[in-house]
Chains A and B, each alone.
Chain A
Amino acid sequence: MIDRKSIAGKYPEITQHAQLLVIGAGPVGLASAIEGARAGLQVTLVDENPTSGALMGLDVPLFYGQRMSGAVQNKDRMVEQMLIASPALEEAFELGVEVLLGTYVWGAFVNGPGVQSLPGRVVGLADEEKSWLCRFDALVLATGARDLVLSFAGIEQPGVMGANAFQALVERYNEFTGKRLVILGSGDPAVATATLALDHGLEVAALVEVRDTPQAPVDALVARGVEILTGQVILEAKTNVEGVSGAVLVDLADGTQRVIDCDTICLAIGLVPNIELADVLGCRIVPSGALGGHVPVLDASGQAVDGVFPVGDCAGLTHAGAAEGRAAAQAAARWIAGEPAIETVSVAPQGDAYAYRLDWMQALVKTGSSSVLACLCEEVTREELVGVKPPRYLGCTSNKIARRNAGTLLKDGPLNHDQFKRLTRVTMGPCQGRRCREQVALMLAIESETPVAAVPLAGYRAPVRPLPLSVLAADDETNAMAAGWDVWFGIKGQWTPYADIGTEREAQHDEDDDGDSLHL
């Protein structure tokens, strides 16, 4: 007996199939796809770039800060730019890799705890018109990293952006519209950003560092005329009609302020591994200050779950490159062939990104206003976040709610990011928490005086890209799905009015329902 209202047997057969599916056509993913093809695998390489201009405007997947030209609306042109920027794509084509550019990966699904119904091991793909599923044998995740966003007054203004977004606009698309930058941070990402900007003929006014010393060698930048401002933090972005017109800095020792003219403020404090797909796959995810944030746990062969190989920045910020990408493809090939895995020796990563980020967050909180936004989409201020205040549109100002805050929640147990999402709506907007997730966790750590790593990850959910209903809508629904669709469980008699239970009227309800529920 099968419950015809259950999921059993309702998915269509998935005809698209890749022996090796590689997600992300950056240097690591490309190397992996090429290596897979050389090893004789049937390879599909998927990259969401060029993403639609609309998504870029939402700061998805990177924090573009509206500093891209109007040309990003032209997808064909952006594809051309990508091919110019990445010659290895040509090599992949020639080796017979199926390359899907401008294709979003909105989910990845394998059977595991809590789900046994999937129509195979699949990723969810979409372009601007439709969505579909593609089966894979092995999956290499090379989804890279995104920008760490810590906010200050004016964070929402055009011209405040992230280092990875800057790199993408300059290198991948050649569509960056700013001229003069102030860069926040002085570690590797900041130095790389400044160097890239200078090499492209842009001005870099200064690097701003909260700590007392630069966090990476900066002599070459100094020689090129870049000011290195240590012991300082940004207070706010000065703005005009075009967005950012300057950065107001404050000295952490004596409180003196200065303004530096610029049209772009680039956050280069750190990067965050892109773990959305690993998380929705059900991989075990752990926090790691050394690896730059939450990362999937890998076994000695580099697998997170059966046949799934995260590699590069999405597995932790270890400067992994093409060699690691190739190794992931080889490991995937062995897994597909059913050969024993080769254990790789990994060096324990060093450093603690959390300590550095915490220094920044503390400096920003100490100097900045409590009305600075902690969440841009939902416009939740820092004060509202730690006060656990209901969103303003509810107009709720009871005395009881006034007495509740992070401190009272803390009495019930450790602070949980997801609980703050529910109550304040922080991290709940269309950017899917990309711009506030880390800083909310930092603020909860500060508020509860617990290590950053102890704040539970706010879980990721599919679709991990914000795609329209009309695009996601299944156009391949089976008759079984349509015929067995019910509002609720479709349990016979569940909606029979209580008074009629056990009376002769009961049978009439069953007949009227015809097996479909009338649930509200």
Chain B
Amino acid sequence: MTSKSGASVVIVGGGVSGLSAGWWLARSGYDVLVLDKGIVGWEASGRNGGGATHYQSPLFHEEQRLWPQMDELLGYPTEYQRQRIIVNLTEQQQKRYAKMGAITRAMGYESSELDGKQLRELVPYVGDTALGAIYFQFGGHANPQRTVQAYSWALQDHGGRVLQHAAVTGFKTAGGRVTEVLTTKGDFGLDHLVVAAGPQSGVLLRQLGVELPLTAARAEMIVTEPLPLMKHGGVDGNGLYGRQTLRGNLAYGGGPHEWLEENDGTTIARPSTPLLRNLAKRLAELFPKAAHARVIRSWSGIIENTPDGRPVIDRLNQPDNVVVCTMSGVGFGLSPATGHAIHDLVVDRKCSFADISKLSITRFKDLPADWRETMGWLPPIAEAAHG
């Protein structure tokens, strides 16, 4: 019942989850249309640390299985690099990351502890006082900006379509199903709808009578000029996440976020702030031998969070042809697996490779209306221009 300009599956949101889902569906032969209000991967999907080591997720095994194959599967480079190091500057950190090693070892993933000397071999920019590190033989990182475009191109190579600059304005429903999505670039009929629109998902779903509790916040990163490549680029520590890119830049984020007002669905400004000084401080502490590196950019991304910080990946009962996905701020690395899960929910109503039942939207059905106030997820109160 696909209308002429529609598609079997319409995906709202050309972020990394929506694009991956589109790619999975297109390569399975589904007629897919991905809609984005702007350019693909323009929001948090293209503005993150690129980490791909998410042991907490039910999608972890699939994430680990897929990443080493992604360049070949997509046909475009993602800059995926395997393995991960977390530096211990304090004994407390050492204990913490050892626990992470124990958790992942129990799941079948190897890791080892490096002493200071071993660490400096692999990561020469750390200082002489670094105690050591935990070295994961799994996980890794990729280039988010290259990866989002790779998904977009790859799904088009499989016959899928991407329509940019098409903002969703509404939906048509009939018989308990969504039948059409209305956009600034025309209306599109559909058999299945996927909503993976990041911070805008809440506003969109409300139009379908579905309450998805989300609050958006801004987080920031900095990037330095290129430096000689370390033996190992995927290094976290000192309260920072990030990587040395294959070009040699140090790209790192972390630290406090700023909660934002609920958004009406339009593009949210992404200013950087003087927080970059605090990021610079921590990066210089993590890599004292690179403290001379010039910072050449900072950027920020807008990230939506659910009240428990965990994803929602679910097929709704009502309307019953809608799959909802928010990764609650941890979407990039898991995206190869997320797309697979969404594909399965669209096609079979059930994820074929993992139990994801605890990521159902129904867990929030009794959430009190004032949950944002209770958790303090509110914008700061600014002072007026005239002090």
Contact = CB atoms under 8 A, between A and B. Distances in A.
B81 to A, nearest CB: 12
Contacts of B309: 489, 491-494
Nearest to B144: A422
B295 to A, nearest CB: 5
Contacts of A118: 273-274, 382
Contacts of A137: 386-387
Contacts of B292: 468-470
Given A391-B247, A393-B247, A489 B258 contact: no
Contacts of A71: none
A11 B254 contact: no
B385 A306 contact: yes
Contacts of A469: 224, 280, 283-284, 290-295
B105 interface: no
A70 interface: no
B254 to A, nearest CB: 5
Interface string A472-493: 1111010001001111110111
Interface in B257-309: 257-260, 268-278, 280-284, 290-299, 302-303, 305, 308-309
Contacts, number: 270
A116 interface: yes
Contacts of B305: 489, 491
Nearest to B333: A520
B46 interface: yes
B65 interface: no
Contacts of A492: 308-309
A146 interface: no
A110 B272 CA distance: 11
Contact of A1 (B55, B145, B224, B375): B375
Interface in A404-418: 404, 408, 412-414, 416
B189 interface: no
Given A390-B77, A470-B284, A520-B84, A110 B239 contact: no
Given A468-B291, A495-B56, A412 B152 contact: yes
Nearest to A8: B380
Nearest to A465: B294
A117 B380 contact: yes
Nearest to A1: B376
A295 interface: no
Interface in A368-412: 378, 390-391, 393-394, 396, 398-401, 404, 408, 412
Given A468-B292, A520-B139, A462 B298 contact: yes
B278 A477 contact: yes
B20 to A, nearest CB: 17
A515 interface: no
Contact of A3 (B46, B57, B259, B273): B259
Nearest to B141: A520
Given A6-B259, A116-B379, A520 B280 contact: no
A53 interface: no
Contacts of B310: 493-494, 501
B175 to A, nearest CB: 34
